[in-house]
Amino acid sequence: MSFNTFGKLFRFTTWGESHGPAIGCVVDGCPPNIKIKENDIQLELNKRKPGQSKFTTQRKEDDKVEILSGVFDGKSTGTPISMIIYNKDMRSRDYETIKNKFRPGHADFTYYKKYGIRDYKGGGRQSARETASRVAAGAIAKKVLENKIGKKYQVKGAVTQLGILGCDVKKWDDKYISKNPFFSPDKSIVKLWEKYLLSIRKAGSSCGAIIEIRAKGIPVGLGAPIYSKLDMDLAAAMMSINAVKGVNIGSGMSSAQLTGEQNSDEISQSGKNTKFKSNNAGGILGGISSGQEIIISFAVKPTSSILLSRKTIDKFGKNTSISVKGRHDPCVGIRAVPIGEAMMHCVLLDHYLMHAAQCKS
């Protein structure tokens, strides 16, 4: 059971509402003696921070994280690491608009029908603000894996499609990703995306995106049949992110269109190195890592809160319409990049520990 807990051996529990006093998470199962500083976590959180460019929401989330437990003399002790981020810049904007109306595409309707009560302020628990907690947990998982695996361990995420415009993934440049406001891995597409997103924004509309996360340096053997497959857990992890509607491992949905000989990644041995001719499998065979790069991508639907008017109902069952005023994020997908990276770190560490338990003890 895990309403608000993710993971098996490396687990984190998140809590908090968008406009409550604070949000946070408790990380359990972190191995001891890992060097952890608040600043390690802060740096990851900063990547996710909104208000950094005109292409994302203007909410100023300072997201200053504090570690409350589990770290002693700069090192993890093996006990739970509790982190808290106090909420700021909660504008006292007119909640009356959304208090009783259900925004189409949002969880307003389903939360209200399920629980009979909902915290409507800023979306409450539904808000993507919860993902800051994931980024904090992911920062810890990253530190652990860097300690266990070493420098070759690397996770990189990027936006590969913005609305109708895909980038050229063959031009993927790790270093470029952090140098543009779109987390694009391909320099050649950025001017076009900029133009496109400004037009979307101006129209009071929004667009979706595809995010790709790549992990290098992963040892063979992570993952476990049948219901703890690495790709199963990664798919779940990504699908749990707000607004995600589709997940691909390697060739993903496109693999339906391949023939057997196109799809099977041929294997060869060169000295001590096993090589694969291609990577349709996305680095996972039978739910277990093959030692290739792990590649997962996911689609984020367009922001549901838009300036355009949409038909809906209120909680009394009356027909009405709604258009969301104020701060507006034309593409929530962009900020999903550090969240996808964080989930990748967490799933990989979880399986790293499970593999150690069953096969290396």
DSSP 215-231: EESPPTT--BTTTB-HH
CB of 330 to its own copies, least distance (A): 8
Cis peptide before 226 (omega within 30 of 0): yes
Per the CB < 8 A criterion, the answer to whether 12 and 28 are in contact is: yes
Choice between 184 and 305, CB closer to its own copies: 305
Shortest CB 204 distance to its own copies, Å: 9
Closest CA to 21 of 106, 112, 114, 124: 124
Q: Specify the residue for token string 């779109």.
A: 182
Residue with Cβ nearer its own copies (59 or 106): 106
Taking the least distance from each CB to its own copies, the nearer of 190 and 220 is 220
Buried b or exposed e, range 71-100, using 16+ CB within 10 angstroms:
beeeebeeebbbbbbebeeeeeeeeeebeb
**Shorter beta-carbon distance to its own copies: residue 175 or 307:** 307
Is the CB of 13 or the CB of 57 nearer to its own copies? 13
Q: Cβ of residue 158: shortest distance to its own copies, in angstroms?
A: 14
CB 118 within 8 A of CB 108: yes
- The least CB distance from residue 140 to its own copies, in Å, is 13
The distance of closest approach from Cβ of residue 237 to its own copies in the complex, given in angstroms and rounded to an integer, is 8
Q: What's the closest the beta carbon of residue 357 comes to its own copies, in angstroms?
A: 4
Give which of 213, 360, 217 is closest to 289, Cα–Cα.
217
Residue 133 or 180: the one with the smaller Cβ distance to its own copies is 133
d(CA 233, CA 358): 18
Sequence-ordered list of residues with C-beta below 8 angstroms from that of 227, at least 6 positions apart, any chain: none
